[in-house]
Structure 1
Amino acid sequence: MTTSSRRSVSTRRRENETPDGMKVRQRVERPHASLYAHPRVFKKLREIAAAEDCKPHDLYVEGLRMVLERYGYDLDKIERGEA
């Protein structure tokens, strides 16, 4: 068995590689916020989400909408940068 030459293979460095050929992991940071509550509260939210066939996150967003509406803000407009 013979091997062919590798002249046809490109050896230029990619943007996400160091000079020695190691890949550099590029991570895009997303906004993060923690929600602190008693574990029983989270358990109840999971139960409600299961009963409503949605995810707990959907309930968190619903709650945020309600609070923002109460103070005269619109979540969608805020997310679009309009408010």
Structure 2
Amino acid sequence: MRLTPEAEVPDGFKRRVRVEKPHASVYAHPKVFKAIREIAAAQGCKPHDIYLEGLRLALRAHGRDFDALNRGE
């Protein structure tokens, strides 16, 4: 969840507004997540980068462009 910059409200107080970011859960055996963490550590990146790489490969295999879709195109 991300907080937007504080917004002025009529009574003069500042109020933060929460903006929900889209998210999805991935269910797999803990050994899968451990392997992804190990791969990420060996490559010097975060597990999230490995997940995005997998999404790009899966979408490319089905004729879609992850980056274009992610930009909303």
- TM-score normalised by structure 1 residue count: 0.69
**Residue 77 of structure 1: CA displacement?**
1.0
Structure 1 unmatched ranges of 5 or more = 1-13
**Residue 37 of structure 1: CA displacement?**
0.7
**Residue 80 of structure 1: CA displacement?**
1.9
Structure (1 or 2) with the greater helix fraction = 2
**In the aligned structure 1, how far is the partner of 2:59 from the partner of 2:16?**
37
1:55 to 41, 46, 49: 46
Structure (1 or 2) with the greater strand fraction = 2
CA deviations on 1:33-80 (whole Å, 9 max, x unpaired) are 001111111011101100010100000000000000000000111112
Q: Which residue of 2 aligns with 1:33?
A: 24
Query: Larger relative contact order (C-alpha < 8 A, sep ≥ 6)?
Result: 2
Runs of 4+ off more than 4 Å? none
The structure whose Rg is larger is 1
- TM-score normalised by structure 2 residue count: 0.78
Number of matched pairs: 65
Structure 2 unmatched ranges of 5 or more = 1-7
